[in-house]
Amino acid sequence: MTPSTWATCTTPARMLDFLRGRASGRKLRLFACACCRSVLPLLADEESRSVVAVAERHADGLADADTLSVSRRLVEEAATRAWALWDGGTPQAEEAAAAAAGPEPAAAAARAAE
Amino acid at 34: A
* 32-59 pLDDT tens trace: 999 888 888 888 778 888 889 999 999 9
pTM greater than 0.85? no
How much is the pLDDT for 88? 56
Asked if residue 39 lies in contact with residue 45, where contact means CB atoms within 8 angstroms, the answer is no
Note the pLDDT tens digit of each residue in 64-110. Answer: 999 999 998 888 887 887 777 765 556 777 777 888 888 888 888 88
Better pLDDT: 7 or 78: 7
**Eight-class DSSP state of 63:** S
The pLDDT value given to residue 86:
64
Predicted confidence at residue 66, as pLDDT, reads 95
